[in-house]
C-alpha cells in the first residue's frame, strides 16, 4: 500500500454531509492495480484505519465498498438522472 495523502478538508466535509443527508454520490476511484472504476453509491461512514481515511458506501449492486479517500479521483452529487 502506498503512503496515504490527506484530502482537502472541504472535500471531507462534503462526504460527511452526504452521509448525514443520505445523498447518493457518483464516485470515481482507482484500485490497487490502477484501474479506474465508477459507481453510484450511498455513503455510510468515514473511518480511519492504519493511518488512512476510508469512505464506506453501499454500491448500486448492494455491495459494501471501502474506498480509500486519496484513491477517489472524482465525486459528484447524484440526482438519479
Domains present along the chain, CATH in parentheses: 9-77 (2.30.30.100)
Please, what is the average pLDDT of the chain? 95
CA pair distance 70, 81, nearest whole angstrom = 27
> What pLDDT score does 1 carry?
60
Q: Is the dihedral of CA 74, 79, 80, 81 positive or negative?
A: negative
Q: How confident is the model at residue 80 (pLDDT cuts 50, 70, 90)?
A: confident
- pTM over 0.95? The answer is no
> Kindly report the CA angle at 9 between 2 and 77, in degrees rounded to 5?
95
For the stretch 26-49, pLDDT in tens is 999 999 899 999 999 999 999 999
CA pair distance 80, 56, nearest whole angstrom = 20
Please state the rounded mean pLDDT for residues 56-62. 96
> What pLDDT score does 77 carry?
92
Q: How many helices and strands (H and E) does the chain possess?
A: 1, 5
What is the percent of the chain with per-residue pLDDT over 90, rounded to a whole number? 93
Amino acid at each position: 500500500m502506498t503512503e496515504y495523502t490527506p484530502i482537502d478538508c472541504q472535500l471531507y466535509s462534503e462526504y460527511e454531509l452526504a452521509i448525514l443527508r443520505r445523498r447518493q454520490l457518483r464516485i470515481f476511484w482507482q484500485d490497487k492495480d490502477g484501474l479506474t472504476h465508477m459507481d453510484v453509491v450511498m455513503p455510510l461512514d468515514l473511518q480511519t484505519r492504519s493511518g488512512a481515511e476510508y469512505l464506506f458506501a453501499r454500491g448500486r449492486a448492494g455491495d459494501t465498498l471501502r474506498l480509500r479517500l486519496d484513491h477517489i479521483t472524482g465525486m459528484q452529487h447524484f440526482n438519479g438522472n
